[in-house]
Amino acid sequence: MEKIIVCPNEQKLNILKELNNNKELHSIKFMTKQEFIRNYFFSYNDDAIYYLMNKYNFNLDVSKVYLSNLYVIDINKDYNNKKLLFLRDLKKELIDNNLLIFNKLFKDYIKDKTIEVFNYYDLDKYEEIALNYKLNINKVNINKKVYEFNSIEEEINYICIKIIELINSGVDINKIYLTNVSNDYLYIIKQLFKYYNIPININFNDSIYGTKIVQDYLKTKELDLDDSNKNNINKKIINILEDLSNIDSNDPIYDKLLIDKLKNTKIDSIKLNNAVNIKNLYDYEFKEDEHVFLIGFNQDILPVIRKDIDYITDNIKDEVDMYKTDYLNNREKNIVSYLLSKINNLYLSYKLNSPFSRFYKSPLINEIGLEVDHILDDKYLYSNIYNKIRLGEMLDYYYLYGEKNNKLKELNTHYDINYKSYNNNYTGINNDTYLKNLPYPLRLSYTSINSYNECNFKYYINYVLKLNIYEDTFAAYIGSLYHHLLAIYMTPGFDFNTEYTKYISEKNLSLKEKVLLVRIRKDLEDFIDILKKQQLLTGYDNFYFEKKLLVPISNDISVEFVGYIDKIMYYKKMDDTYYSIIDYKTGTIDTNIEPMKYGLHMQLPSYLYLINYSKEISNPIFTGIYYQNILHDYPNWSKNLEKDIKDKYLLKGYSTDNIEVLERFDSTYQDSELIKSMKYNEDKGFYSYTKLINDDTMYQLIRYSKNIIEKNSKDILDSKFDINPKVYNNENISCKYCQYKDLCFMKPDNIIYLDKVENLDFLGGEE
């Protein structure tokens, strides 16, 4: 008679190996539990998920939860609970639309088959009914020691030493295993096993989503099929695309499904032939001569304690074939004790602390009679490099906090680690390799140039190694909201409420964020009203919004300087274009451009450079370069709040000294209602605090910007990335907000002190 064995793939390999050793012929069909359940009940694909997301606007996770709960639902049953009635009707609807896939022959196929189940200890009632198998295990008391450690590191260090002792005693390394390994152990295991030269197979379960191949594909929607190194991930991407082939790729839901699949598709790990291996306690059946280290025997980790938080909760499980939470938790304790009792060579341990958390031992330790042993003597065997690292840590604690470890003297006598002696200088990289791997064209911007001039090494970390992590914060979201609406508010037919609602509907916001948006919406709406009123004061009635300008830089290798200007206001007269540049800013605005002597504060001058050399604006004639504030905090005690708001939104920056040109841009220039600190008197001329630039100075700004940009681009191509933070006017402007301070180990002699610049004499030319 043909037999069906339902087991994890790990156990399937063991069974096949035993059958092969016995050299007997058997008629066996292997299936995983998931395969059996899908054939017995139903399966579904991405079309079903798409249907729920598209018709009901469910998000992806909610759609998956509903589908996973349909296995226990009988479409012919009248349920008392609304949740179950909803699931019943949903299941009927999916069946009517042919979105659930049934194997109508499967139940007949298994009628005359013997079904055996191995290594599945998480079966729910409906799964046991389908498999005709009852999981019934009693708790077992075990006569074993479990070792307590203060930290994960101490726990893994002890295990490394024990493994070396086993290997030295003749135990095959391939018969040594770790189990119950949670994610917080993986890095420390990799690190310490490397210190002890113990090979181990660790699968970090990293997603392909984070790879450059996938990120490049998401940008270009093209695959480089000629690169053999990418074939494995390319195949995974192709399989995902085939799964989604029934869905329109232009549909917004398509991208959500695509990204979800990419995030849940793992990178294949490289497997070493002779190494310690990590196995799942539930999936793998350990043999009598194998040695097993079970780590992390902590509360809430082993056994896993379920909570009554599933969609189908305990109070309605009587209507379906599902076990209640208490039953599952009690059964889980019995299962863990049973599995531990089956392991012949078992080593148990738990930790009390990790770098970020405090832990407690598992209550099951006492329940099954395990004796707790405290390892007080931390052994310093087999790894000189690890001992030196620990000596350094002990010296840190001694000099910083006065804490003296009882092993400090012994290690300090034995090892010379040149404590507090280091060379943090940037030692260079292979320039040929560097240039080969640069993106072409290499694009520089004001932000990257400013970063380079603040500190060459900061640019290297950020733009070459690309270690910056973009965080999709609420502040970034608000910034994009402002820029989006400020780029379209002059569009004919613009309706603030419509465009605002459309934009925020595309993001899931927390309650706190929604409350903050109430004030932000009012501020943004008021700002747009002020912009429209300001428009009545100027004769510049043409606009570019979010204007991209690009200038090729003269080098042997393709380099471009690019900028996105928030707003350009201009006026055409014959072939000439009179223009003003406006950049939106939050917070305090510093309009001083004098630090551009050192390549700093060059945003507005770099925009002049882009307009002059990009040739996208014909015969440009300068009017002004300005910042304009957005998002203000207004004091409640203000006596004239309306005036304060109006003043806050005035343009701040430099204007032309040509009155004929300026008057067209600002009809109120004599006592300006558009530009801050601008006042003119027929007798005295412009007041001394008015910021003006004549044409000669404007051209010198462009020339100087050009020289800085070209010099910086050459230095970047020459891989000049020294650690050289700048102190300007007694303030360290490079390190103050730098997120890479932990990487450079900056020393005082790395700092370059810059004199404060009081005027623009360094430009040359006439003032």
CA distance 742 to 744: 6
Cis peptide before 439 (omega within 30 of 0): no
- Does 218 reside within a domain? yes
Closest to 527 in 3D by CA, of 617, 631, 604, 432: 631
What confidence score (pLDDT) does residue 470 get? 67
The verdict on residue 513 lying in a domain is: no
- Please give the DSSP secondary-structure letter assigned to residue 440: S
Mean pLDDT of 402-416: 88
Digit-coded pLDDT (tens) for 134-153: 988 888 888 899 999 999 99
pTM for the structure as a whole: 0.64
* 261 and 375 both lie in a single domain: no
Q: How far is CA 138 from CA 283, 328, 341, 680, in A?
A: 19, 13, 11, 94
Residues sharing a CB contact under 8 Å with residue 324, sequence separation 6 or more, in sequence order: 314, 317
pLDDT tens figures, 624-640: 999 998 876 655 555 66
**Collapsed DSSP state (helix, strand, coil) of residue 691:** coil
pLDDT of residue 230: 56
> Could you give phi then psi for residue 178, rounded to 5 degrees?
-110, 145
Token readout for 310 is 């599933």
CATH number at residue 306: 3.40.50.300
Domain for residue 292, yes or no? yes
pLDDT, one tens digit per residue, over 326-384 is 999 999 999 999 999 999 999 999 999 988 889 999 999 999 989 999 876 777 889 99
- Residues 168 and 36 reside in one and the same domain: no
Q: Which of 677, 656, 676, 654 is nearest to 596 (CA)?
A: 654
| Pair (236, 255) in one structural domain | yes
Helix residue ranges, H only, 26-100: 33-40, 46-56, 60-68, 82-96
Is 523:500 a contact under the CB 8 Å cutoff?
no
Confidence of residue 706 (pLDDT cuts 50, 70, 90): very high
| Structural domain count of the chain | 5
Alpha-carbon Rg for the chain, nearest whole angstrom, is 34
Q: Indicate if 49 and 155 belong to the same structural domain.
A: no
Identify whether residues 125 and 250 lie together within a single domain: no
Q: Verify that 127 and 147 share a domain, yes or no.
A: no
- DSSP secondary structure code for residue 112 in this structure: T
Q: Are residues 559 and 694 in the same domain?
A: yes
User: What pLDDT digit, counting tens, does each position of 428-482 carry?
Assistant: 898 888 888 888 888 999 999 999 999 999 999 999 998 887 667 888 888 889 9
Cis peptide before 605 (omega within 30 of 0): no
pLDDT at 767: 41
Of the residues 689, 715, 741, which one is the last residue of a structural domain?
Answer: 715
Q: Which residue has the tokens 């793939």?
A: 9
Residue 85, domain member (yes or no) = yes
The verdict on 358 and 391 lying in the same domain is no
Whether the Cβ atoms of residue 741 and residue 735 lie closer than 8 Å to each other: yes
pLDDT at 133 over 70: yes
Per the prediction, the chain carries an average pLDDT of 90
253 and 192 assigned to the same domain:
no
Q: Are residues 288 and 400 in the same domain?
A: no
Cβ atoms of 362 and 298 within 8 Å: the answer is yes
Q: Which domain holds residue 69?
A: 3-131
Q: Which tokens go with 47?
A: 């079309």
Has residue 174 been placed in a domain? yes
CA 451 to CA 194: how far, in whole Å?
A: 36
**Residue at 496 is within a domain:** no
The answer to whether residue 70 sits within a structural domain is yes
Least confident of 188-202, 598-612, 645-659: 645-659
- 193 and 333 in one domain? yes
DSSP 619: S
Same domain, 619 and 657: yes
